[in-house]
Structure 1
Amino acid sequence: MPALIETVSFIHAAPSVVFDLELDVDVHAASMAGSQETATTSSGRRQLTVGDEVTFRARHFGVRWRMTSRITAYERPHRFVDEQTRGPFRVLRHEHHFEELNGFGTRMTDRMTISAPMGPLGAVVTRVLIAPYLRRLLKRRASHIKCLAEARRRA
């Protein structure tokens, strides 16, 4: 059974600014510095668009992980989706939504669906360990995006 993780952040910046920061692999890597995350793109560009693949390498739970995702939907500046094509999960689908708040900023919603391998044992590990960990990572990343986006607004 897949687990759903959802986080909502409010950012005082335009949706287009937040959208672009979310698709910048250098920003992503900087937001995950604690896990020594790196990102390599299939296109060589640092800004992702539909069809692009990105391979992440990081250390989580003391283990080196590698995961490749593809941008499967792209509706700038409102929404994009990335989905794992290779990696540790049976399924990982991450929807990013950006809603303008009447000139006051952006409501950014991350909705991640994950399913681990190993049947019932994987489902338990996902609910007890992996989902809470990923929720914390999404919040950390959103905080990083918020700081960058709001600094650009002040500049």
Structure 2
Amino acid sequence: MPKIELQTEIKADRKVVFDLSRSIDLHKISTEQTNEEAIAGKTSGLIGMDESVTWRAKHFGIYQKLTSKITEFDRPNFFVDEMVKGAFKEFKHEHHFAELNNGTLMTDIFEYNSPFGILGKIADKLFLKKYMTELLTERNRVVKEFAESEKWKEIINE
């Protein structure tokens, strides 16, 4: 099962970073390159425990749907979203937030299982793990950009 771990240091309050990370609206901004749109479940605002969202996005030239659900939630420390239905056999995305030097250390742990047996394993090695890492890195760049500026106030209404 491939595993991607990313750490991002963000000079912002942990609660702001946590809420940006669970924002459907910010996710749409961070995935503009794949034309992601929330089409069912929670389609805007902040997703919470036991809520799900269905995304429609274009990956590798094909439109796909993926539904994920929040299965663990402890604001502002961590939350977990897991695939309920979609192109993967399964995935689990852990989001951890720790205070660090007047800011936040955001840690993503993304584990997934590709479909198609041995062909899926080959795809992982050839391109899929790199592709998923780039998507997560871009998402984190956008979270950081919004959190470290006043832009977060456009997303989160306190």
What is the TM-score when the length of structure 2 is the normalising length? 0.91
SS of 2:88 mapped into structure 1: coil
Question: Where in structure 1 are there 5+ consecutive unaligned residues?
Answer: none
Shift of the 154–143 alpha-carbon distance from structure 1 to 2, 3 Å rule, reads: closer
| Structure 1: 4+ residue segments shifted above 4 A | none
CA-CA distance at 1:40 after TM superposition: 3.5
CA offsets, 1:11-61, max 9 Å, x none? 000111000001110100011111111113525652100000001111111
The whole-number CA distance in structure 2 between the counterparts of 1:45 and 1:52 is 12
Shift of the 153–27 alpha-carbon distance from structure 1 to 2, 3 Å rule, reads: closer
Pick aligned residue for 1:120 from 109, 115, 118: 118
The whole-number CA distance in structure 1 between the counterparts of 2:75 and 2:93 is 16
| Residues 34-43 or 4-13, more deviating | 34-43
2:156 is matched with: none
The whole-number CA distance in structure 2 between the counterparts of 1:41 and 1:74 is 21
2:50 is matched with: 51
The whole-number CA distance in structure 2 between the counterparts of 1:147 and 1:44 is 22
SS of 2:38 mapped into structure 1: strand
Pairs aligned (count): 153
Root-mean-square deviation (Å): 1.7
CA-CA distance at 1:152 after TM superposition: 2.9
1:89 equivalent to 2:88? Answer yes
Contact 1:13 1:153 in 2 (8 A): no
SS of 2:149 mapped into structure 1: helix
2:145 is matched with: 147
The letter for the 1-side match of 2:38 is A
1:38 is matched with: 37
SS of 1:128 mapped into structure 2: helix
Question: Where in structure 2 are there 5+ consecutive unaligned residues?
Answer: 154-158
